[in-house]
Structure 1
Amino acid sequence: MESRRDLLSLRPNPAPHWDHLSILRDLPVALHNKVSLQYIPDRHLLDPVSFRHYLAVLSSIPWPGPEELCLAIADDVSNQVMPRWLQVTVTFSSSDGQQNQAVAQDTQPGWSGKPIIPL
């Protein structure tokens, strides 16, 4: 698990005093899954290239369902990046067009802000 988290590279947040939303949307991960990540950073920003590499590594792991994959991503990003607010969505699309979504959300203890709604 630690080596998986180590794949997530960080850079300093240029404006830690602002609440701003970072979004990575509809990235492929594992078989027939896509992940979207939204977060309000605190001190660090997640490097998008490292996140794509991280997702490629996750694609080599057999996941029982989108819930387990979603919770693993949320746990890894939350612990490595430590954002004020985080939401991870994993969407599984079957060959017959059915979709199953799992959503995980986390906040820092004591953070009382509200999530920013993207346009």
Structure 2
Amino acid sequence: MSKKKLSEFKTNAAVISTGGGIITTEATRTFLQQHPATIIYLKTSPVIFLARLKGDETRPLAKNQTPEEIEKLFQSREAHYEAVASFSIETDSLSPLEIVSEIQTQLS
């Protein structure tokens, strides 16, 4: 999702799932930091990321890069994710329902 598309959301009552690259530009990071939204970083290790997306032909990152390249990409983005996030959740050992429960706990 681009900064332009992101800025079109005018309501606070929305859940927006962005692509991992949303934080790669300074302008978008600044926008995210200045927006009065709760930003949740669902932190996943590269190994688990690849396992979850194995066989998904619609995900070019998982399809076209080696595990080593993905590890480097994750490392290069980590500080940016942490900088914009209101909080983060380690998701490697959590099911989707457990992730939702953790989000609810953090938000309450």
Q: TM-score, normalised by structure 1?
A: 0.29
Task: Choose between structure 1 and 2: higher strand proportion.
Answer: 1
Q: TM-score, normalised by structure 2?
A: 0.31
Task: Choose between structure 1 and 2: higher helix proportion.
Answer: 2
